[in-house]
Structure 1
């Protein structure tokens, strides 16, 4: 199994539950790592692979819901599947509103958990792909000069070369040269492709520091 293979993290303070979940998850060929507490999980280095978190609600110290909040504050969107023997409707609703994939009361069917894990991995794989794509776009955007960034912003607004030239006070031919360089640096096969790339960047990306002019 490679480091990119999907992984399941299990956090439960009950040793027997951790063992049973580990055996179940491994029985379908998935990687699994287990933790006895939320604190232990928070201090663990994570793999760069599609992942999900199978999390007990009630634990000593940080509860499962506390861990969910801590991960949310840190911007960590790992899909969470809650399991509990003590949950109630209010707890379930709160966890789901906060982004949990599933909330399974014990005892639950093995297949229900495996189905939730498959759904969580599919969602996280999509999120990983989007993050990797955005990182690549940002890296290419960072190679643009300050002038090229000015041109690209006006280009995606739909302005023509002559309009951009007038806006920036330079010649239309110079704008054509800049646009050619932009298309090369951004690896954009067409203007619509370039527009789609730039739309994925946020205003902070577009106003960041530029390379040499």
Structure 2
């Protein structure tokens, strides 16, 4: 099935990898792009909050609970909507989650149709409330400060090439490529390949 929106991402945060794998399959079958994280800290470090979508967040996880993850997201200003999942939830926990800003609270075992409906509503909310942000416009302005060589390098990074392959493609030393890549990332204030790819996609759409 064709992906619904290439720049929309559903994040699953659950320490039960077999469950998250099955949920990923369900969502991808429904046309969504999906990323899985085995814990709250991995999610907070690895996610790109500027990418539209939603977070499906397990409440009971070791190390950092779902409610603690949501609290940290809000303290960082993450606007991504959250759907809570739990096999241990009760009414008080659901009320607290909704007070903290969750858009839905669903108990395991899942009702698949309800979950898919909740995801669609959460993504629609995110698209209507965030869309193209000032932050993204600032990123485009920062991209224009790159030299032509830095733009070449960062586009090849976004295409999935490693430094050695980029060096061969551009007839440069690997060290020179590394310097251009570091300079471009510093100017863009973007480190992850997914964030860089998202930015270049927006730029190419506007041109």
Say yes or no: TM over 0.5: yes
TM-score of the aligned structures, taking structure 2 as reference length: 0.61
Runs of 4 or more above 3 Å deviation: 1-4, 130-136
Quick one: distance in 2 between partners of 1:58 and 1:26?
A: 24
**Is 1:76 aligned with 2:83?**
no
**Is 1:62 aligned with 2:25?**
no
Task: Summarize the Cα distance change of 1:132–1:23 in structure 2 as closer, same or farther, 3 Å threshold.
Answer: same
1:126 shift after superposition: 1.3
**Per-residue displacement from partner, 1:136-191 (whole Å, max 9, x unpaired)?**
8xx9xxxxxxxxxxxxxxxxxxxxxxxxxxxxxxxxxxxxxxxxxxxxxxxxxxxx
Task: Summarize the Cα distance change of 1:62–1:47 in structure 2 as closer, same or farther, 3 Å threshold.
Answer: closer
Out of 95, 98, 110, the residue aligned to residue 93 of structure 1 is 95
Quick one: distance in 2 between partners of 1:4 and 1:22?
A: 16
Quick one: distance in 1 between partners of 2:69 and 2:49?
A: 18
Task: Summarize the Cα distance change of 1:62–1:5 in structure 2 as closer, same or farther, 3 Å threshold.
Answer: same
Partner of 1:144: none
Q: Which runs of 5+ in 1 are unaligned?
A: 140-213
* Contact 1:3–1:48 under 8 Å retained in 2: no
1:3 shift after superposition: 8.1
Out of 37, 42, 52, the residue aligned to residue 40 of structure 1 is 42
Q: How many residues align?
A: 137
TM-score of the aligned structures, taking structure 1 as reference length: 0.59
Matches for 1:1-213 after TM superposition, within 5 Å: 4-46=6-48, 48-129=50-131, 131-132=133-134
Computing the radius of gyration over CA atoms, which structure comes out larger, 1 or 2?
1
